[in-house]
Amino acid sequence: DPAVVFKYIQAALATGQTKEVERIVRDNDHYDAEKVKNYLKEASLPDQLPLIIVCDRFDYVHDLVLYLYSNGMNKYIEVYVQQVNSSRLPQVVGALLDVDCDEHVVKSLIASTPAQFSIGSLVEEIEKRNRLKILHRWLEAKASEGSQDPGVYNALAKIYIDSNYEPEKFLSSNRLYDPRAIGAYSEKRDPGLAYLAYSQGQCDDELLRLTSDNSMFKQQSRYLIKRRDLGLWGKALTGDGQQPVNQSHRRQLIDQIVSYGLPEADDPEEVSVCVKAFMAANLPQELIELLERIILEDTPFSKNNNLQNLLILTAVRVEPTRVADYIERLSNYDAPDIAEICINNGLHEEAFNIFKRFGVNTEAIGVLIDHVGSLDRAYEYAERCDQAEVWSRLGRAQLEGLRIKDSIDSYVRADDPSNYVEVIDVASHAGKFDDLVRFLLMARKKVREPA
């Protein structure tokens, strides 16, 4: 019965049995804590330990501190956190700050209390009251002792940020603070510091949101390139299933990637992942911009075979008017394969120029004959090359076009009688015997009739 227990406490105090009161309030669970607390305060005991026990058990810490402080009993505040329950220090400090207790008293209390309290909770209580700087030296001492408690470094980060005491150095070198918490703390104060914290902790979603909301697309581009994560690239370029990408933000990001981010890269894997991301996002026009920047300008990747191939092939698909310029300016692409792809996409002049540039003359004249359909240009090309295989290819085409004299001229210049059966048949039917004689005289030197 709470009433009986209360009467017992009154009787014990009346007879001076303070230790018995301590025992009852510590061990008994059947008294009215509020009533007993108020009674003990009014009793003005010479020893405040019974009141301390009641307030500690039933979470009247704030009331206890206000009572002890207002009555000049600071030593019992020390007794409470140093001997009874050190874990209550955060609430005690918060209450002392609420009554404008001298900072030196608060600092001394913190320094003398056994380290059995939550540093995070202490920081939280002090931070609520905008007095975090009073912990500065104490926190630095904890750090120098080798503390691994993230609460120490979170608080130091906040102090350095608010005081502008080399926060960049701390955020970039320390690995013990919570980057997500410190990033969130910094966002309204200095987005640049928030970016630094988020990037140190690879807080990808928070970093994308921060840099997009604050138009920090240069930083976002650098982070994406260094991060080398296709999934993250996908979120930046196409959005996710819940949130489509902001088109204006994407354009600004791409501009920064093309202008600054990728030209600064020196790691082939960074470039490779970036290119794959643009391909996966189906951004061929933007991919061309990107590739032009790293291939056509002087970068470590200007001569990269795969990137040159990709630039030309992408242009074949979406910007065919640029292909001619690329095949002239670049030199380390797979010429035969690229030429065949050009032919299959109707870019015959480009295919011809590739074969011509790389000295694959029989293939070059083949393009003029089979795809451009100009025997006159083929003849001019054969004149310039003056190679037997080229003349032979031209001679066959001329014969098929019934340009018999020209065909025999070409075969003679090629010194090639291999197609004599067809030449004799076509020339005989056309009555071109004078031309046929010239061919046969050349062939006689090369071919012996079977016995």
Calpha distance 258→290 (Å, rounded) = 5
- 281-297 pLDDT, tens per residue? 999 999 999 999 999 99
d(CA 103, CA 111): 12
pTM: 0.78
Across the chain, mean pLDDT equals: 93
* pLDDT tens digits, one per residue of 28-47: 999 999 999 999 999 988 89
Q: Which of 173, 274, 266, 172 is nearest to 221 (CA)?
A: 274
Residue 222 has pLDDT above 70, yes or no: yes
Residue-wise pLDDT tens digits, 119-169: 999 999 999 999 999 999 999 999 999 999 999 999 999 999 999 999 999
pLDDT number for residue 448: 63
Mean pLDDT of 92-107: 95
pLDDT of 187 higher than 60:
yes
pLDDT at 450 over 60: no
**Largest alpha-carbon pair distance within the chain?**
150
Given this model, what pLDDT does residue 45 score? Answer: 87
Would you tell me how many other CB atoms lie within 10 Å of the CB of residue 223?
Answer: 22
Query: Which residues fall within 8 angstroms of residue 47, CB to CB, at 6 or more apart?
Result: 18
pLDDT of residue 298: 87
Helix (H) / strand (E) containing 143: helix 136-144
Cα within 13 Å of Cα(391), Cβ side: 18
For residues 299-306, give the mean pLDDT.
Answer: 92
In this prediction, residue 449 carries a pLDDT of 53
Task: Write the single-letter amino acid at 10.
Answer: Q
CA pair distance 244, 284, nearest whole angstrom: 19
Cβ–Cβ < 8 Å for 266, 295? no
Q: Note the pLDDT of residue 451.
A: 43
Q: What is the pLDDT of residue 399?
A: 92
Q: What is the pLDDT of residue 10?
A: 92
Q: Which two tokens stand for residue 283?
A: 């951004």
Amino acid at the residue 404: I
